[in-house]
Amino acid sequence: MKKGVLISFEGGEGSGKTVQIKRLRDRLTKAGKDVVVVREPGGTVISEQIREVLLSPKNIGMAYTTEVLLFQAARAQIFREIVLPSLAAGKVVLMDRSRDSSTVYQGMVRGFGVDLIEGLNELSTKKTYPDLTFLLDVPVETGLERRNHTSKMDRLDMEAREFHEQVRRGYLTLARKNDHHRWVIINSQQSIDAISERIRDEVRARKIV
């Protein structure tokens, strides 16, 4: 069924995903590829509404179980509406966060367990894994500093420092296990150019585009 290529970007706050996704999109588009860029949670009218509920600082009282299910609901919608049809049409889909965000934030850090969350991921993605996942790894201190310069705080950004440390460790654990041989860990303290060259090399080396 799947003919296109799915590439996801993961990492904690201020890891620099967005700028790298833009660069890869431009590079691939110049090379004549049909590229679709989406972010999670979000990316469709329904998923953006769910995003608003999830991230609004007003919803400080949200139960963790609600959070788990809303992230999956937003994911189910974007896979159904955008990701799966784009892959079926042979496009390259670049995702700013996807299933691994839930595995780390909800499965590992919130403590729901990797197995439960992976089960829900299977449901919401219709058993679709990225072909390649870049983990942009940055020390928590650096990431939070970068973020403070660029954006306002959402509900999850306001978590304590230890939360962000757990997120970082969770990602590294997952990426080092490297199930499905799709993870590439990149030190995101390097220059933007160095990171984007590494990403280009990995994409080329795997001949996925």
- Give binding residues for ATP as ranges: 11-18
| Least distance in angstroms from the C-beta of 201 to ligand TYD | 24
Nearest to 75 by CA among 124, 21, 128: 124
Min. distance of Cβ 181 from ligand TYD in angstroms? Answer: 22
Sole window of 26-34, 102-110, 175-183, 188-196 interacting with ligand TYD (rule: CB under 6 A): 102-110
Alpha helix ranges (H) inside 108-209: 114-125, 140-150, 161-177, 192-205
| Interface with ligand TYD, residue 102, by CB under 6 A | yes
Using the minimum distance from each CB to ligand TYD, give the nearer residue, 33 or 93.
93
Q: What's the min distance (Å) between Cβ of 76 and ligand TYD? A: 12
Stretches 86-94, 97-105, 178-186, 200-208: which one binds ligand TYD (CB under 6 A)? Answer: 97-105
User: Would you list which residues are annotated within the binding site?
Assistant: 11-18
**Which region, judged by CB under 6 A, interacts with ligand TYD, from 21-29, 33-41, 81-89, 196-204?**
33-41
Among 8, 24, 40, 134, binds ligand TYD (CB under 6 A): 40
Strand partners, 184: 134
When asked if residue 10 is in the footprint of ligand TYD (CB under 6 A), the reply is no
Distances in whole angstroms, Cα of residue 194 to Cα of each of 19, 58, 91, 198: 13, 39, 26, 6
Neighbours of 145 (CB within 10 A): 13
User: Can residue 143 be called a binding residue for ligand TYD (CB under 6 A)?
Assistant: no
- Measured CA to CA, the distance from residue 164 to residue 147 in angstroms comes to 13
125 binds ligand TYD (CB under 6 A): no
The values of phi and psi at residue 22, to 5°, are: -60, -45
The closest of 65, 81, 160, 78 to 117, measured between CA atoms, is: 65
Footprint of ligand TYD on this chain (CB under 6 A)? 13, 39-41, 55, 71, 97, 101-102, 105-106, 154, 156
